[in-house]
Amino acid sequence: MNDFIVGIDLGTTNSELAVTEDGIVRVVPIHGNPIMPSCVGIDAQGNLLVGQAAKNQLIAAPESTVVSIKRKMGEDTRVRFGEREFSPEEISSFILRELKNEGERVLGRPIHKAVVTVPAFFNERQRKATQMAGELAGLEVVRILNEPTAAALAYDAGNRDHETILVYDLGGGTFDVSVVTVESGIVEVRASHGDTHLGGDDFDQLLVDHAVAAFQRQNGRELKPDLRTLRRLRVAMEQAKRRLSDEPYVHVREEYLDGENHLDIEILRTDYEAMILPLLEKTLTCLHQALTDAKLAPKDIGRVMLVGGATRTPLVHQLLRQKLEIEPRFEINPDLIVAMGASVQGAALSGEKRHSILVDITPHSYSTVALATDEGGYEFLRCHPIISRNTPLPSSKAEMFFTTLDNQTEVKVAAYQGESENPDDNVLLGDFLVTGLRRVPSGNVVIIHFDLDLNGLLKITATEKATGLAKTVTLDTRGARTLDLEKAKQNIAQLVGMDDAIEGSSDGGLDETKERQEQLTAAKNLRKRAEALLQKGINPEDAEELRALLHATAEAIGRHDDLTELNNKLSDLVFYLED
């Protein structure tokens, strides 16, 4: 039987799940809606909320609700969430798990494998983080697919002409532009460019800043920037922004925004457009770069496909029309097209016969550093590209390097991502030492081989030519950013339930003893009761003691420590307070 592989668009603002079977693409409704907000929360009882339910409590409980986690993927950071802290991978895994569980319920069959999309401009770390989130959710991510490529695949599912398409993808948090050719079922990405920190969320922020300034003018006092007020303002401004796509002005009134004073403003679309123009101009610079890389001019573009919710902004259409002299089109719903394309690729990978062939590229160059000498005879480190940007994937390339010292037995191999000759301007992906080289005069040849796979993940091999001595590293980036998978599973287990977490373990489950599971179950129940007490209101000293214990148990669970003593303490305090 063929594998069943779904397509998932793990978006900054929203996420979607689609399946393609027998050539038919279907978006799977999640909680009855094709679009699920990429929002995660914990309710007052300590239950995990994902999607619309979490979004609903965004204003009321901002400290227990997380949005736009995609912007933090690949960063070495923890997000405070209720009483606990999670990595971006863990938070994203809650979103993926919800899509998986709901998808299984709707489709009536298990989902084990997925193609998950990422912005073309996501770097190595961000891609790895996405794969990790999948694993934590109990999903094998069989392919990480670039979002614009997915969009082109969805388009190709219904059209087979020869055409050069420009995919302009402006979502909540990221921007990508790609030049793609579609010919007889071959979808070939020619060039890609983008910005992983540019999207509709930034437009919201500009409107929030505008509203904060207006509030100050109107009321003669500063707006206290507490999380609750800012979230409320953000939600109001996001709605205002959407309305400005259809109306020439909007009136926003937020009663008692700071508890005492109102916000009452009118925003003209023209003023809003002036605010966002510099950001949209940045997208046009990327577009120009992608066209240049593809060695094409605007006149060569046959069709402009708009992807991502923020492309509903009329100024986007206007600027593209001016720049390319083509009317941009929403061929397929811009919110769903990426998930649909991912599912087309999923079907192809699972062996469905009629499918498109995909030729994807890398939007970044990958280089290693080597000593170079300038005109004055000074030596300096320079990036030496091994795989250049816009090279079709997978790519496997090698270059020769030479030792510079006599009897040099070690070389340090480093990999960088980026376009500059100066290593400081690029992203260091990682480095490693090759030891045990022959003791010979300088000039010993070391071959450095870069393998970039279809997911955009890099493997490096350094080989001493004369002996064949080799060292291979699949890059886990520097900064010790290697998420401890077992720890992460422990951390999320408390929220999704131990059974789910064990099931989510692709390597056959956590190595948990029965006793440990009992400890975890007891801790979970006690924590729920403690949180209910805090919610109900207890005296500040008791609350502080209870919070300290909750924090200590959370840490102990994360560290995999024995919980007996902490459970006893928590139990004593909870019983005492419940009395």
Q: Contact residues for ligand AMP (CB under 6 A)?
A: 11-14, 171-172, 199-201, 238, 241-242, 245, 308-310, 312-313, 335
Minimum gap (Å) between residue 127 Cβ and ligand AMP: 18
Query: Is 9 labeled as catalytic in the residue annotation?
Result: yes
Per-residue DSSP letters for 515-549? HHHHHHHHHHHHHHHHHHHHHH---HHHHHHHHHH
Nearest alpha carbon to residue 6 among 111, 92, 136, 106: 111
CB nearer to ligand AMP: give 55 or 312: 312
Whether 66 and 85 have beta carbons less than 8 Å apart is answered as: no
CA distance 15 to 25: 16
CB nearer to ligand AMP: give 172 or 504: 172
Whole-angstrom CA distances from 559 to 74, 445, 486, 489, 554 are: 22, 45, 10, 11, 9
Whether 125 and 77 have beta carbons less than 8 Å apart is answered as: no
Minimum gap (Å) between residue 246 Cβ and ligand AMP: 7
Minimum gap (Å) between residue 173 Cβ and ligand AMP: 7
Whole-angstrom CA distances from 482 to 65, 182, 251, 415, 459 are: 25, 38, 48, 17, 16
CB nearer to ligand AMP: give 88 or 172: 172
Minimum gap (Å) between residue 205 Cβ and ligand AMP: 10
Minimum gap (Å) between residue 126 Cβ and ligand AMP: 15
CB nearer to ligand AMP: give 14 or 519: 14
CA 354-182-456 angle, to 5 degrees, is: 85
427-434 β-sheet, strand order: 379-387, 366-373, 411-417, 427-434
Query: Is 323 labeled as catalytic in the residue annotation?
Result: no
Minimum gap (Å) between residue 204 Cβ and ligand AMP: 7
What residue type is 262 in one-letter code?
A: H
Minimum gap (Å) between residue 172 Cβ and ligand AMP: 4
Active-site pick, 83, 98, 169, 254: 169
Residues near 124 by beta carbon (within 8 Å), at least 6 away in sequence: 417, 427, 429, 456, 457, 458, 475, 477
Minimum gap (Å) between residue 14 Cβ and ligand AMP: 4
The reply to whether omega before 394 is within 30° of 0 (cis) is yes
Whether 191 and 392 have beta carbons less than 8 Å apart is answered as: no
Q: Which two tokens mark 312?
A: 């509903």
Active-site pick, 147, 156, 176, 360: 147
CB nearer to ligand AMP: give 206 or 469: 206
CB nearer to ligand AMP: give 116 or 483: 116
Minimum gap (Å) between residue 387 Cβ and ligand AMP: 29
Active-site pick, 16, 43, 55, 70: 70
Whether 359 and 392 have beta carbons less than 8 Å apart is answered as: yes
Helix (H/G/I), strand (E/B), else coil: 434: strand
Whole-angstrom CA distances from 420 to 28, 192, 282, 413, 556 are: 43, 17, 20, 18, 44
Residues near 144 by beta carbon (within 8 Å), at least 6 away in sequence: 115, 116, 117, 118, 127, 130, 131, 455, 456, 457
Residue of this chain nearest to ligand AMP (CB atom)? 200
User: Exposed/middle/buried for 541, CB within 10 Å: 0-12, 13-18, 19+?
Assistant: exposed
Q: Which two tokens mark 531?
A: 């949180």
CB nearer to ligand AMP: give 308 or 385: 308
CB nearer to ligand AMP: give 332 or 550: 332
Whether 452 and 362 have beta carbons less than 8 Å apart is answered as: yes
Query: Is 561 labeled as catalytic in the residue annotation?
Result: no
CB nearer to ligand AMP: give 14 or 494: 14
CB nearer to ligand AMP: give 145 or 549: 145
Query: Is 484 labeled as catalytic in the residue annotation?
Result: no
Q: Which two tokens mark 31?
A: 């909680």
Whether 350 and 5 have beta carbons less than 8 Å apart is answered as: yes
CA distance 527 to 539: 18
Active-site pick, 9, 16, 201, 238: 9
Nearest alpha carbon to residue 139 among 107, 108, 99: 99
Minimum gap (Å) between residue 275 Cβ and ligand AMP: 13
Cα 408–chain centre separation: 42
Please identify every residue annotated as catalytic.
Answer: 9, 70, 147, 169
